């Protein structure tokens, strides 16, 4: 696992929140900004209201006001950009290593591209190209 301080913009990560009052939807999200200000975060979400609603469930030492800490911007799998308060994040983050995998399927017909595409989609894979050689 990786510490928050070591996370870089552009990485794909999975993390949990230190509160149960927010939906834990941060699986394979892309970091768009790691230490953004309150003002920038407010362009994406009403982090002030969120902070007020969850403050009592956050770890000891969390600043009292949403203006007093930084935020991380992440792009979810659904394509939405979310602003997450740094104190809201449990500092034990999984970095998802990205790779390109090349697969060659021999002895198939051109019509099998649809079947192969559907099979990849069934496993949640959507970012792929199929080339007939």
Which strands, in side-by-side order, build the sheet including 94-96?
81-85, 71-75, 29-36, 12-14, 94-96
41 and 73 share a domain? yes
79-91: per-residue pLDDT in tens?
Answer: 899 999 999 999 8
Produce one character per residue of 66-83: b if its CB has 16 or more CB atoms within 10 Å, e if not.
beebebbbbeeeeeeebb
Q: What is the mean pLDDT of residues 86-112?
A: 88
**Integer Cα distance of 73 and 36 in angstroms:** 7
Per the document, the length of the chain is 133
Q: Does 112 lie in the same domain as 71?
A: no
pLDDT in tens, 55-72: 999 999 999 999 999 999
3-class state of residue 68 by DSSP: helix
**Quick one: 32 and 84 in the same domain?**
yes
Same domain, 79 and 17: yes
Mean pLDDT of the chain: 91
Same domain, 41 and 75: yes
**Total number of domains in the chain:** 2
Q: Which domain holds residue 30?
A: 4-96
User: Does residue 106 share a domain with residue 91?
Assistant: no
Do 128 and 107 reside in the same domain of the chain? Answer: yes
Kindly state whether residues 12 and 47 are assigned to the same domain: yes
Same domain, 29 and 68: yes
Same domain for 92 and 105, yes or no, is no
């Amino acid at each position: 696992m990786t510490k928050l301080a070591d996370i870089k913009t552009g990485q794909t990560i999975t993390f949990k929140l230190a509160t149960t009052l927010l939906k834990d939807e941060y699986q394979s999200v892309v970091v768009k900004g790691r230490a953004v200000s309150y003002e920038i975060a407010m362009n994406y979400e009403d982090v002030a209201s969120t902070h007020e609603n969850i403050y009592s469930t956050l770890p000891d030492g969390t600043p009292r006001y949403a203006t007093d800490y930084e935020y991380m911007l992440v792009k979810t799998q659904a394509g939405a950009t979310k602003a997450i308060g740094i104190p809201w994040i449990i500092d034990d983050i999984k970095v998802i290593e990205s790779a390109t995998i090349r697969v060659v399927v021999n002895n198939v017909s051109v019509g099998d591209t649809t079947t192969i595409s559907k099979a990849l989609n069934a496993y949640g894979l959507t970012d792929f190209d199929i080339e007939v050689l």
